[in-house]
Amino acid sequence: MKPTASAAAIAAAVGKGEVKARAVVEAALARIAKHNETLGAFTDITAQRALARADAVDLAIAGGGKAPPLAGVPFAAKNLYDIEGVVTRAGSKINRSNRPAGKDATLIQRLEFAGAILVGATNMDEYAYGFTGENAHDGPSRNPHDTERMTGGSSAGSAAATAAGLVPLSLGSDTNGSIRVPASFCGLFGLKPTYGRLSRARTYPFVASFDTLGPLARSTRDLALAYDAMQGFDDDDPAQTKRPMEPTDARLKHPIPGIRIAIAGGYFAGDAEVQAHVAHVTRALDAARVVTIPDAAAARAAAFLITMTEGAALHLERLRTRLDDFDPEVRDRLLAGAMLPAAWTGKAQKLRRDFREKVLALFADVDAILAPVTPMHAPHIGQKLAKLGGVEMALRPHLGVFTQPFSFIGLPVVTVPVWLPGATLPMGVQIIAAPWREDIALRIAHQLEQAGAVSAPVAKAFAI
Amino acid sequence: MSFKPFDAEALVAAAAEMLQLKIPAAQRDGVRSQLKTAAKMAALVEQVKLADDTEPAPVYRP
> DSSP characters for A304-347?
HHHHHHHHHHHHHHHHHH-GGGS-HHHHHHHHHHHTS-HHHHHH
Interface residue A313 vs chain B (CB under 8 A): no
Put simply, the answer to whether B45 touches A328 (Cβ < 8 Å) is no
Pairing of strands A134-135, A139-140: antiparallel
pLDDT computed for residue B6 by the predictor: 73
B-contacting residues in A 231-260 (Cβ below 8 Å):
239, 241
Distances in whole angstroms, Cα of residue A232 to Cα of each of A198, A205, A246, A281: 7, 20, 9, 32
List of chain A residues whose C-beta atoms are within 8 Å of the C-beta of residue B53:
none
- Between A and B, how many CB-CB pairs are < 8 A? 126
- Residue A341, judged by CB atoms within 10 A of its CB (0-12, 13-18, 19+), counts as middle
With beta carbons less than 8 A apart as the criterion, state whether A150 and A381 touch.
yes
What is the Cα A377 distance to its own chain's centre? 17
Given this model, what pLDDT does residue B59 score?
61
ipTM of the complex model: 0.87
Check pLDDT > 80 for residue B1. Answer: no
Out of A305, A328, A353, the one facing B54 most closely (by C-beta) is A353
Asked if B48 lies within 8 A of A295 by C-beta distance, the reply is: yes
* Chain B residues in contact with A436 (beta carbon < 8 A): 62
Smallest CA–CA distance from B42 into chain A, residue: A344
Residue A86: beta bridge partners?
A: A83
Closest approach of B24 to chain A, Cα-based (Å): 10
Q: Which of B45, B47, B61 to mutate to test the interface with A (most CBs of A within 10 A)?
A: B45
Cα–Cα distance between A411 and A362 in angstroms, integer?
A: 13
Q: Shortest CB distance from A339 goes to which of B12, B42, B56?
A: B12
Q: What is the pLDDT of residue A390?
A: 87
Q: How close does chain A come to B31, measured CA to CA in Å?
A: 5
Model pLDDT for residues B4-59, shown as the tens digit of each residue: 667 888 999 999 999 999 999 999 999 999 999 999 999 999 999 998 888 887 56
Nearest to B50 among A316, A320, A351 (CB): A351
**What letters, b where the CB count within 10 A reaches 16 and e where it falls short, cover A431-463?**
bbbbbbbbbbbbbbbbbbbeeebbbbebbeebe
Please check whether residue A160 is in contact with residue A151, taking contact to mean a CB–CB distance below 8 angstroms: yes
User: Does B38 contact A340 at a Cβ distance shorter than 8 Å?
Assistant: yes
Q: Can you give the pTM of this predicted structure?
A: 0.96
| Close Cβ partners of A215 (under 8 Å, ≥ 6 residues apart) | A169, A170, A171, A172, A190, A191, A222, A223, A226, A227, A230
- Comparing alpha-carbon positions, the chain B residue that sits nearest to A356 is B62
The span from the CA of A434 to the CA of A364, in Å, is 9
What does the pLDDT read at residue B34?
A: 94
Chain A contact for B57 (CB, 8 A cutoff):
yes
- The predicted structure's pLDDT at residue B55: 82
Nearest CA distance, A320 vs chain B (angstrom): 5
CA closest to B14 among chain A residues: A339
Q: Which helix (H) or strand (E) holds A174?
A: strand A169-174
List all residues of chain A from 158 to 197 with a beta carbon under 8 Å from chain B. 194-196
**Chain B CB within 8 Å of residue A337 CB:** yes
The residues in A 266-305 lying below 8 A from B, measured between CB atoms, are 295, 297-298, 301-302, 304-305
Nearest CA in chain A to B32: A336
Q: Degrees (nearest 5) of the Cα angle A433, A439, A440?
A: 45
Residue A164 has a pLDDT of 98
Burial A271-305 (b: 16+ CB within 10 A, else e): eeebeebbebbbebbebeeebebbbbbbbbbbbbb
pLDDT values of chain A reduced to their tens digit, one per residue, 464 residues? 898 999 999 999 999 999 999 999 999 999 999 999 999 999 999 999 999 999 999 999 999 989 999 999 999 999 999 999 999 999 999 999 999 999 999 999 999 999 999 999 999 999 999 999 999 999 999 999 999 999 999 999 999 999 999 999 999 999 999 999 999 999 999 999 999 999 999 999 999 999 999 999 999 999 999 999 999 999 999 899 999 999 999 999 998 889 999 999 999 998 999 999 999 999 999 999 999 999 999 999 999 999 999 999 999 999 999 999 999 999 999 999 999 999 999 999 999 999 999 999 999 999 999 999 999 999 999 999 999 888 998 999 899 999 999 999 999 999 999 999 999 999 999 999 999 999 999 999 999 999 999 999 999 999 98
Give the residue numbers of A annotated as catalytic, written as ranges: 78, 154, 178
Contacting A residues, span 420-449, partner chain B, CB-CB under 8 Å: 435-436
C-beta atoms of B21 and A338 within 8 A: yes
Number of CB atoms found within 10 A of residue A321's CB: 10
In angstroms, the Cα distances linking A444 to A9, A260, A415, A447, A448 are 22, 11, 11, 5, 6
Which residues of chain A neighbour B22 with C-beta distances below 8 Å?
320, 323
Q: Radius of gyration over alpha carbons of chain A, in Å? A: 20
Nearest to B44 among A195, A297, A331 (CB): A297
Backbone angles phi, psi at A401, to 5 degrees: -60, -35
Three-class SS of residue A358? helix
Q: Which amino acid is at A293?
A: I
Considering only CA atoms, which of A188, A179, A194 is closest in space to residue A231? A194
In the predicted model, is pLDDT for residue B3 greater than 60? no
Q: What is the DSSP letter of A267?
A: G
Instruction: Give B 2-31 residues with CB within 8 A of chain A.
Output: 11-12, 15-16, 19-23, 27, 30-31
List B residues 35-54 in contact with A (Cβ-Cβ < 8 A).
35, 37-38, 40-42, 44-48, 50, 54
DSSP assignment of A124-163? -SGGG--SS-EETTTEE-EETTEEEEE--SSSHHHHHHHH
| Phi, psi (degrees; rounded to nearest 5) at A417 | -90, 125
d(CA A323, CA A335): 9
Q: What phi, psi does A43 have (nearest 5°)? A: -105, -25
Res B60: pLDDT: 56
Cβ contact, residue pair B45, A331, below 8 Å: no
